Amino acid sequence: MARIRMVAAAAAALFVFAGSAAAQGGGGGGQMMAMMSGGQDNPLFAGITLTDAELAKTKAAADKHAAELKMVGDSARAYGMKMREARQSGDAAAADAAMKASQPWQDKRMAEMKSFYADLRAGLSADHQAAFDKNVEAAQARMQRPRPQL
């Protein structure tokens, strides 16, 4: 159960970041990439002022992982929609089947996110790495909080 929550939290984080980037104007694609690569709106970089070199390294990391994150995100989103439709129709068996079918994609997404975060962290100075680590921990703690049921 904890693993499912962790996977769901990581997926939710990316969707939240994408949604806020899109809401801030325009297509969201370029802004999402800017945010992923150390833009001011990314909570993982809160309190960190990136140097030009660090910004270039985080942009390179975002560029490196963008296609794979999009692909696994799109796949996870498709399974999420299937689960949602099944739950809304009251079909618990179909929702369970969709959740089980999505597990390989969720595992792949978690592995890609860990790799992405490691690449982001590697491009930072030691001081900035410490702040980044605290921000990641805070984000994970926020994701673990129970959400109100609608």
pLDDT in tens, 69-112: 888 888 888 888 988 999 999 999 998 898 898 888 888 888 99
Q: What is the dihedral of CA 53, 54, 58, 61, to 10 degrees?
A: 60
pLDDT in tens, 119-148: 999 999 999 999 999 999 998 888 888 877
Q: Which residue has the higher pLDDT, 18 or 36?
A: 36
pLDDT in tens, 19-53: 444 444 344 444 445 455 555 578 888 889 999 99
Estimate the crossing angle of helix 29-36 against helix 2-23, to 10 degrees.
Answer: 120
Of 73, 49, 60, residue with least CA distance to 125: 49
pLDDT value of residue 20: 40
Q: Which residues contact 13 (CB under 8 A, 6 or more apart)?
A: 139, 143
Q: What is the pTM of this model?
A: 0.64
Q: Is 17 left (phi over 0), alpha (psi -120 to 50) or beta?
A: alpha
CB atoms within 10 A of CB 55: 17
